[in-house]
Amino acid sequence: MPRLKLTIEYDGSRYVGWQVQRNGRSVQAELGEALGRLLGGDVEVVAAGRTDSGVHATGQVVCFDTERQLPLKAYHRGLNGLLPEDIAVVRAEEVSAAFDPRRWSRGKRYRYRVSNLPSRSPLRRHTHWEIYAPLQVEAMARAATSLLGRHDYSAFRASDCQAAHAVREVRRLSVEGTPGDAVAFVVEGTAFLKHMVRNLVGTLVEVGKGRRPEAWVAEVLASGDRTLAGPTAPPHGLVLEEVFYGDGPPPRQAGDSADVFEDSA
């Protein structure tokens, strides 16, 4: 039975998130229905990780098993003909039967975008957090360095996060762009806690607005107290850009448990 891996892109604006839920349409449901029509039966689709309502993706990875033998172009061009216009298959490939998009992941890269124009932008309203006061980009970049490495990120997890522990590793956190135009926060790590990226961004933006000193970010991290950090940035600025893989499951570090493979940044 072939196992297929799809890389998909989607605009999350009108979905309740990746995962099937009772309160609205999900990306998982749309993809499952399209695959069911293509393959003539129910298909169970597993993703590398969840994305929340309003969050976008350019590199979400999913896989599924099927008994039908179809050319790969059927899962690319053919499936795109069945999907709504805000979801598309970017790439399709056959993989090992052991491949697990979640447990084989060696990390993810997210990009959070802020529109920093002096007035609102109709073209950016679904893809950027609009902040009209100029942000201090260099100050945010310096403050972000204290968040790199392997730490307990309890101060940046959602109150309802179900992860067994908050230890994660952030390999990259860069702040790029121009004050008064567009600013991007690029975050790469092994795995993420619920709302972790959005909470990191919300905290750094407090520095960018001049409300907090750069050293405050390190103090928040050390405190482990979510109430001391900045607000959660809105979901529509967040994009899952890429999921990284090797030739098999990554080695676990001491203290890791299965929950490190579950995230919803």
**Dist CA 199 CA 205 (whole Å):** 10
- Is 110 annotated in some ligand binding site? yes
C-alpha torsion angle, residues 116, 88, 25, 97 (rounded to 10): -120
Q: Which residues are catalytic?
A: 52
**What's the one-letter identity of residue 134?**
P
Q: Which helix (H) or strand (E) holds 141?
A: helix 137-144
Q: Which of 57, 4, 5, 3 is nearest to 27 (CA)?
A: 57
Residue 180 burial (10 A CB sphere; 0-12, 13-18, 19+): middle
DSSP letter string, 149-191: EEEE-GGGS-TT---S--EEEEEEEEEEE-TTSEEEEEEEES-
Query: Which residue numbers belong to the known binding site for substrate?
Result: 110
- Binding site as annotated, residues: 110
